[in-house]
Structure 1
Amino acid sequence: MAASLEHDDLANLFLSLGALQPPAELHGYAAGFISVGGRLEQDGWLQHCVDLLDCEAPNPEQSDALYTVYCTALLGLESGEMDLELLLPDDEFDLDQRIASLGQWCQGYLTGFAMAGKQKVDGDKSYSEELTEAISDIAAIAQVSADEGDDEEGEQDYFAVSEYVRIAAMTIFAEFNALSPNYGDEDASGRLH
């Protein structure tokens, strides 16, 4: 179902669409949306993409690539094998660009979480301290600035924070989807405004 997902290829696709957001943000959005139980068919996902990216409707080939973003996040979260991989630039990019992309991924995650959460979450439920802390940490990381140099310590910190975000997203997914196994049964087709 989901083909290989490369950050650079997706960045080129976004440029061709005139998209305003980076690939990391869309992947984060997909992971956040799915974590709260949001599930979409391809047409529903593409509408979210058009709204989030503020671009024209994609052609069929572009649509498939955009749907791959969603499918990759879904498979990574649902696998039960801790397979979620954040869609971030690879090591060929400067550290400051990778740090900025991590912040954009987190911002997208929070947006997706909020969009699906508006449609799915019962306001009377209380969530674990671990989940609340993970969301708070992701929100703090979304505000990250790239003021570190390209030294080895900065690389190690970037890796550690990226891994923390990956684990936090999977933890949030596990808690929300354990709360209500029926989250994925209905279509969450809300639009961004």
Structure 2
Amino acid sequence: MTASLEHDDLANLFLSLGALQPPAELHGYAAGFVSVGGRITADGWLKHCMDLLDCETPDPEQSQALYTVYTSALENMESGEMSLDLLLPDDEFDLDQRISSLGQWCQGYLTGFAMAGKQQSVDQQKTYSPDLTEAISDIAAIAQVSADEQTDEEGEQDYFAVCEYVRVAAMTIFVECNDGEVAADDAKTPRLH
């Protein structure tokens, strides 16, 4: 089992590296990258991080923390237990900040999916199911979410429902891209609309 990730610890690491991107975006990138079958070494992942975060080369301890983002996403998805947790700020943050982070997670997911997908398409032509295509479209729509949403109890419930949808959609995409077929009963992508 990989060391646990904490949003605030990773945010502090990003600050020390001079990175302007949020932790949610890197975690989303890792999830998208592994979802489409991307696998990478620690050194390769570090190069991706430096490009994405536009930062200097981290020291070995910082490098290990960045690699943990990738390994935790991979292990959570490979566990077969639908155990992916989106790395987002906790409830202490205002709802608008959490909504913004969710959008950034989705943007990172799409970027990671595209990067690994581009590498995969050189090796083989892939066609995706209509459900996977719809899930990617939904994640793209969520990436555009506005942070000026409702901040009452209904807004909180909507936020958690959308987070759960994104989590399940990412796991479903992973299953289809890594196992070939999604079992209809086990991993049906929920409908957003």
Normalised by the length of structure 1, the TM-score is 0.90
Q: 1:148: Cα distance to partner?
A: 1.8
Question: In 1, distance between residues paired with 2:19 and 2:115?
Answer: 20
Report what 1:49 is aligned to.
49
Q: Which amino acid aligns with 1:54?
A: D
Report what 1:190 is aligned to.
none
Q: Secondary structure at the match of 2:2?
A: coil
Greater RCO, 1 or 2 (C-alpha within 8 Å, sep 6+)? 1
Q: Secondary structure at the match of 2:40?
A: coil
Q: 1:124: Cα distance to partner?
A: 4.2
Report what 1:36 is aligned to.
36
Q: Which amino acid aligns with 1:27?
A: H
After the TM superposition, which segments of 4 or more aligned residues of structure 1 sit over 6 Å from their partners?
none
Report what 2:10 is aligned to.
10
Q: Secondary structure at the match of 1:5?
A: coil
Question: In 2, distance between residues paired with 1:86 and 1:137?
Answer: 16
The more displaced of 123-132 and 72-81 is 123-132
Report what 1:131 is aligned to.
132
Report what 1:171 is aligned to.
172
Aligned pair in 2 of structure 1 residues 125, 41: CA closer, same or farther (>3 Å)?
closer
Aligned pair in 2 of structure 1 residues 2, 154: CA closer, same or farther (>3 Å)?
same
TM alignment of 1:15-164, pairs within 5 A: 15-121=15-121, 124-164=125-165
Q: Which amino acid aligns with 1:41?
A: T
C-alpha deviations, 1:79-116, integer Å up to 9, x for none?
00001000000000000000000000000000000000
Question: In 1, distance between residues paired with 2:26 and 2:125?
Answer: 29
Q: Secondary structure at the match of 1:83?
A: coil
Q: Which amino acid aligns with 2:119?
A: Q
**Percent of aligned pairs with the same amino acid:** 81
Q: Return 5+ residue gaps in structure 2 as ranges.
A: 182-193
Question: In 1, distance between residues paired with 2:50 and 2:12?
Answer: 16
Q: Which amino acid aligns with 2:110?
A: L
| Count of matched residue positions in the alignment of Structure 1 and Structure 2 | 180
Report what 1:188 is aligned to.
none
Normalised by the length of structure 2, the TM-score is 0.90
Q: Which amino acid aligns with 1:105?
A: W
Q: Which amino acid aligns with 1:162?
A: C
Q: Which amino acid aligns with 2:150?
A: G
Q: 1:158: Cα distance to partner?
A: 0.2
Cα-Cα RMSD: 1.3
Q: 1:126: Cα distance to partner?
A: 2.4
Question: In 2, distance between residues paired with 1:27 and 1:113?
Answer: 12
